[in-house]
Chain A
Amino acid sequence: MDKVIGIDLGTTNSCVAIVENGTPTVIPNRGGYKTTPSMVAITEAGKRLVGHIAKRQAITNAENTVYAAKRLIGRKWHSPQVKNAVATSSYRIVQGPHNDVRIVLRDKEYSVSEISAMVLQEMKLIAEDYLGEEVTKAVITVPAYFNDNQRQATKDAGEIAGLDVIRIINEPTAAALSYGFGKNVEKTIAVYDFGGGTFDISILEIGASGVFKVIATAGDTFLGGEDIDARVIDWLVQGFKQEHAIDLRQDRMALQRLKDAAEKAKCELSSVRETEVNLPFIISSGRNEALHLQRTIDRHTLEELSADLIERTVDICKETLADARLSKDDIEEVLLVGGMTRMPKIQQAVAEFFEREPCKGVHPDESVALGAGIQAAALLGDKQDMVLLDVTPHALGIMTQGGYFEELIPQNTTVPTHRTKIFTTSRDSQTAVKIVVMQGESERAEENELLGEFILTGLRRAPKGTVEIEVTFEINADGIVSVHAKDLETLKEQSIEVTASSGLTREEIKNMMEGAKDYMVERRSSEEFEAAKQEAERIVNDVERLLPQVEQIVAASDFGRDAIEKARGIVAKARSAIAKRDIAAIKGEIEGLARTHRMFKGVVAKTH
């Protein structure tokens, strides 16, 4: 059976896991790390870098290194969150077709799904290296509060990366899965997930028969560790401005260094009470004088800077508890997920609100990936002892006359679910009816998220009101919306055209998939090349090391001189093959080199 992996595609870091012999396990990358930075860069030479290696060169290559793509995925150009990112990111974000977003690296435009696909590809490779076989199926997690566009864009990213995304599941739910796996518990729990870019709170019930039921969920898809970093950066920039009257933001590299330092300081302050930010030569002054940034930041200041953000998360918890019609007493366990939950102030706020100590039994960085792996195994495996009943985080509805939003499926409805509504023509011989589908909580359509305009085409020409089309709005277990229509008179499928929805077209995805496949081939062959090159070079060095000695010993005989000539020839051929990056040639020479090496060794040994 194909192996299926679970991938936590995080804003700052990603993680991949699999269930092996019944045990959920996180797969470490080649460097031994269990998480990989969600960063992508293109070097000057045009080489793609992903993960740790991308992070390491982020400062020097700030303009062409992408981070936090998750904050952009599935969003429209005209949204406030994208505007915010444009203003604060070190890489270029531009407008794409149909209100989409594009990222520019080395003068080439990439869609956000493409960038995320690069990260997913990396995680796929990590798994394949570990398992020693190809991996094509995966479960990918998203924040619970992601809307349909964001989920679809994430699924697209998976597809581009060459993965069959068998399910998209919500991050807090995944964490709950990893918490309840193997335990025979029946509990009502809350999952507080404060990650790099997003915040989610989910209230779940772990019940009998292996059922995990989500009762209510809410969050903020633009509230995370990055925002707290931003506050620290602001504070440092302000301080510097006051001292030197220079705005460090103008310099991309300075900004990147600040970002790095802010993140580091924030993390350190979880274990120490104060730390120093030390950035020498941060920028040059107007008079070509080098300026340095050196400032101490203490935990108290950090807490003050992030107080309102933390409070917002608590407010959302309050609302969600009310939506779930539960009181704090009903919550029997609180799980902390996401790197930010390491911050003492946040742990304190959570404990205070829920009036209980949070559970330390789940790993804040790994539990989501583990949960994804568990769900993956449950879906495709033979043993089905677990069932997930998740909910849709946003209400689904249509736009009606006057710009109002008519709700069809309420928020927090268990999925899969569907609802039908009858549409009819308002003019005689009308041949098309337009339905505008939206997601959100506002009464006014313009405040909600537009999913798409569906046009029922090819309607029978008939007097108005006599053509009745039954439209079914469906939300599947991934939380993704689909629309089907049926003519009630003929009971035939009604054709629907989808227009004006953002995101990639099938055509674009196909092209990007081809590009990703090419990259994979290139990447594999380059790895192969590296391996062959290293081996060849090793033997060449050994041979060359022994050459002077052997020359001395056999210089006397003709046979010896011949052998030396031959040896030199092989070495030269090997070196040229390496220079030409000709894998086949290198491999061909390795045998000859090895023989030569053995012979030389023999000669030297005999004389001693």
Chain B
Amino acid sequence: MSDARARTPELVPEAAGEAAPAAAAERQPPEDVDLDVEMRKRVLETQRNLERQDHYALLGVDRRADAKDIKRAYYQLAATFHPDRYFRRRLGSFKPRMEAIFGRLTLAYETLSDAEKRQEYDAYLEEQRRTRGIEQLLADAIAEAKRAEESIEREVRSQTPLAAPAGIGSSAPPPAPAAPTTPAPVVDHAARRDALARRLLGGRSPTTSSAPPPRPSLTPPPMPTVADAMDALRRRYEERVERAKAAQARKYVTNAEAALAAGDAVAAANAFRVALSLSPADPDLEDRARSAQAKADDVLSDAYARQAAYEEKTGQWVAAARSWARVCKARLSDAHAHERAANAITKAGGDLHEASRLAAHACALEPANPRYRVVLANVYLAAGLALNARRELETAAQLAPHDGTIAEMMRKVGR
């Protein structure tokens, strides 16, 4: 029945991408149906929210509502949207809409009115909220990194005049360089060395914390041309930006370490990610970021695995396939996840090529597992490749000679 829910948009082509069409429907000349304006508006609005709302929102009850309230809410809504209410009246396009709404209402009621199902559903919602939160954090982190970069660049730009200083004309011989004030190249190198040293030491300053005094150049630098000056300025600007970014990155690294210490792998990974984007040429930071990401992926894929389990249980194969795919992306050596993903895709009637790839991967990871062969065989059967299916089943039968299910399947295919 949940598949029906997933499919409903196709039954009512207008439902997909409701926002514009709904408003348009009201602007168009009204359909000649036996429904008053209020009811029509209500149907359109309710249908628009169907996919978005969870069971509680749809029934209009609080998360903590008791069985009685839920039943009352359902009955009231059912009395409004049940097709019999408008038996043999002209409903036009509203008929399938109302049927879709009623079906969804009934599903919501059946889930929430059963203690066990409700518990599972609540856990599922919680899981969804968590993963959504995590994904949101990730998106936020990336945006934040971008913002940080931009603000740093802005700030440095405002402090660093990029226009050529007055006097440095095109052909006029430049004035004698005021040596100490702009020994740009030398000072910057040193500063960079410092910064790198600091990073390598994990944020601690090198023993010689202050930059070595600029060694005055013994020979005056060559007469700087305008281009040179521009270059110099640009370089200065860039180096300042880098320094500022490095400083910011250090802050994020500190945050990341704190998060790691607190056991929040996801926050740590995100912080490291921002740090890395601010300070990319840092192999050590890269390592740390990668390891934190791996931990975060684990947490996320655990959550997705739990979601997938619920979705499988309630027959929402399309959603389950999606969730398992996310798990597989993060855990390439998780044979179980791959097999589950293949199974879900087959049940959802999805891309069988993808399903066979995933199932084959699972088999490659654990060649001695007969169950994985069976799933692969099912994919082949669904795709009409009986010979391939039989081959996998034979392998499975060799691995598990006393398994009745495999024997049954072989009989089926052998026909």
- Which A residues are closer than 8 A to B by beta carbons? 166, 205, 207-211, 213, 325, 378-380, 384, 387-389, 401-402, 409, 413-414, 416-422, 424-427, 464-465, 468, 470, 472, 477, 486, 488, 491
In Å, the complex CA distance between A427 and B383 comes to 9
> Closest approach, in angstroms, between the C-beta of A412 and any C-beta of chain B?
10
> Closest approach, in angstroms, between the C-beta of A129 and any C-beta of chain B?
27
Whether B7 lies near A420 (C-beta < 8 A) is yes
Contacts of B413 in A (CB 8 A): 401
Whether B88 lies near A419 (C-beta < 8 A) is no
9 CB contacts below 8 A, A to B, read A211-B75, A379-B88, A387-B78, A402-B409, A420-B3, A420-B7, A464-B384, A488-B10, A491-B10
Whether B4 lies near A468 (C-beta < 8 A) is no
Among B82, B102, B381, B415, max chain A CB count under 10 A is at B82
Residue B99 at the chain A interface, CB threshold 8 Å: yes
Contacts of A211 in B (CB 8 A): 75, 78-79
- Which B residues are closer than 8 A to A by beta carbons? 1, 3-4, 7, 10-11, 13, 71-72, 75-76, 78-79, 82-85, 87-88, 99, 102-103, 106, 110, 114, 349, 352, 381, 383-384, 408-409, 411-413, 415
Whether B84 lies near A409 (C-beta < 8 A) is no
Whether B114 lies near A325 (C-beta < 8 A) is yes
Closest to B80 in A: A209
Contact among A379, A416, A421, A491 for B349, CB-based, below 8 A: A421
Whether B349 lies near A426 (C-beta < 8 A) is no
**Given A389-B82, A464-B384, A465-B383, A422–B349 Cβ distance below 8 Å?**
yes
Whether B84 lies near A387 (C-beta < 8 A) is yes
Contacts of A402 in B (CB 8 A): 408-409, 411-412, 415
In Å, the complex CA distance between A439 and B360 comes to 36
In Å, the complex CA distance between A379 and B87 comes to 6
Contacts of B383 in A (CB 8 A): 426, 464-465
Contact among A378, A384, A413 for B1, CB-based, below 8 A: A413
In Å, the complex CA distance between A417 and B8 comes to 12
Whether B4 lies near A420 (C-beta < 8 A) is yes
Whether B75 lies near A207 (C-beta < 8 A) is yes
In Å, the complex CA distance between A34 and B7 comes to 49
Closest to B82 in A: A387
**Given A402-B411, A422-B349, A465-B384, A417–B79 Cβ distance below 8 Å?**
no
Contact among B4, B13, B88, B412 for A418, CB-based, below 8 A: B4
Contacts of A488 in B (CB 8 A): 10
In Å, the complex CA distance between A325 and B87 comes to 32
Contacts of A213 in B (CB 8 A): 75
In Å, the complex CA distance between A409 and B71 comes to 23
Closest to A419 in B: B4
Whether B88 lies near A166 (C-beta < 8 A) is yes
Contacts of A207 in B (CB 8 A): 71-72, 75
Closest to B79 in A: A209
Whether A380 lies near B87 (C-beta < 8 A) is yes
In Å, the complex CA distance between A166 and B88 comes to 9
Among B383, B384, B411, max chain A CB count under 10 A is at B384
Contacts of A418 in B (CB 8 A): 4, 99, 103
**Given A209-B79, A468-B349, A470-B7, A427–B99 Cβ distance below 8 Å?**
no
Closest to A210 in B: B79
Among B13, B71, B408, max chain A CB count under 10 A is at B71
Closest to A430 in B: B384
Extra inter-chain contacts (6) besides given A207-B71, A384-B84, CB under 8 Å: A208-B75, A211-B78, A387-B78, A401-B381, A402-B408, A477-B83
Whether A387 lies near B85 (C-beta < 8 A) is yes
**Given A209-B76, A401-B381, A465-B352, A421–B84 Cβ distance below 8 Å?**
no
Whether A427 lies near B384 (C-beta < 8 A) is yes
Closest to A402 in B: B412
> Closest approach, in angstroms, between the C-beta of A592 and any C-beta of chain B?
52
In Å, the complex CA distance between A472 and B208 comes to 77
> Closest approach, in angstroms, between the C-beta of A516 and any C-beta of chain B?
24
Contact among A380, A414, A468, A486 for B88, CB-based, below 8 A: A380
Contacts of B411 in A (CB 8 A): 402
Contacts of B408 in A (CB 8 A): 402
Contacts of B84 in A (CB 8 A): 378-379, 384, 387-388, 477
> Closest approach, in angstroms, between the C-beta of B3 and any C-beta of chain A?
6
Whether A470 lies near B10 (C-beta < 8 A) is yes
**Given A166-B88, A421-B349, A422-B349, A387–B3 Cβ distance below 8 Å?**
no
> Closest approach, in angstroms, between the C-beta of B390 and any C-beta of chain A?
13
Closest to A388 in B: B84
> Closest approach, in angstroms, between the C-beta of B162 and any C-beta of chain A?
58
In Å, the complex CA distance between A23 and B88 comes to 23
Whether B384 lies near A425 (C-beta < 8 A) is yes
A-B pairs, top 4 by smallest CB distance, nearest first, are: A426-B384, A402-B412, A422-B349, A209-B79
In Å, the complex CA distance between A422 and B3 comes to 10
> Closest approach, in angstroms, between the C-beta of B380 and any C-beta of chain A?
11
In Å, the complex CA distance between A319 and B193 comes to 81
Whether B3 lies near A419 (C-beta < 8 A) is yes
**Given A387-B85, A416-B99, A421–B76 Cβ distance below 8 Å?**
no
Among B75, B78, B110, max chain A CB count under 10 A is at B75
Contacts of A208 in B (CB 8 A): 71-72, 75-76
In Å, the complex CA distance between A388 and B412 comes to 43
In Å, the complex CA distance between A25 and B349 comes to 53
In Å, the complex CA distance between A419 and B412 comes to 26
Contact among A389, A409, A417, A424 for B78, CB-based, below 8 A: A389
**Given A208-B76, A379-B84, A465-B383, A417–B349 Cβ distance below 8 Å?**
no
Contacts of A417 in B (CB 8 A): 1, 4, 103, 106
In Å, the complex CA distance between A470 and B7 comes to 9
Contacts of A166 in B (CB 8 A): 87-88
> Closest approach, in angstroms, between the C-beta of A206 and any C-beta of chain B?
10
> Closest approach, in angstroms, between the C-beta of B326 and any C-beta of chain A?
23
> Closest approach, in angstroms, between the C-beta of A266 and any C-beta of chain B?
39
In Å, the complex CA distance between A473 and B10 comes to 15
Contacts of A209 in B (CB 8 A): 75-76, 78-79
Whether B83 lies near A416 (C-beta < 8 A) is yes
Contacts of A419 in B (CB 8 A): 1, 3-4
Whether A387 lies near B79 (C-beta < 8 A) is yes
Whether A401 lies near B4 (C-beta < 8 A) is no
Contacts of B99 in A (CB 8 A): 416, 418
In Å, the complex CA distance between A353 and B413 comes to 48
